[in-house]
């Protein structure tokens, strides 16, 4: 390996190691996701279920009904 490349790699490795060591000795402070993550996830799931429940039941769609055999062509008018 070239000396310049080796020096560059060691500099970047040291730059990454310092914050990692600094963070390892800190106490974990709860952030927004730790405090409200499950609540937000459950709220989103409830909204998702409510919207799709409305779409499936309130719009009046009929599911699984095939027009094959029930639709007959009209007589041709000239």
**Domain range enclosing 13:** 8-46
Q: Is residue 77 in a domain?
A: no
- The full length of the chain comes to 78
pTM for this entry: 0.43
pLDDT tens column, 52-71: 998 888 776 666 666 676 77
Structure tokens of 15? 């730059």
pLDDT tens column, 8-60: 666 555 555 555 556 666 777 888 888 899 999 999 999 999 999 988 887 76
Residue among 44, 41, 24 at smallest CA distance from 33: 41
Q: Is residue 37 in a domain?
A: yes
**Model confidence at 6: pLDDT above 90:** no
Residue with tokens 């709860």: 30
**Model confidence at 2: pLDDT above 60:** yes
Q: Is residue 1 in a domain?
A: no
**Model confidence at 5: pLDDT above 60:** yes
Q: Work out how many domains the chain is built from and give that number.
A: 1
């Amino acid at each position: 390996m070239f000396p310049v490349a080796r020096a560059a790699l060691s500099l970047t490795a040291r730059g990454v190691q310092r914050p990692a060591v600094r963070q390892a000795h800190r106490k974990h402070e709860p952030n927004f996701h730790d405090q409200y993550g499950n609540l937000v996830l459950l709220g989103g799931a409830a909204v998702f279920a409510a919207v799709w429940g409305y779409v499936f039941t309130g719009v009046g769609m009929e599911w699984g009904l095939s027009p094959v055999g029930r639709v007959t062509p009209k007589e041709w008018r000239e």
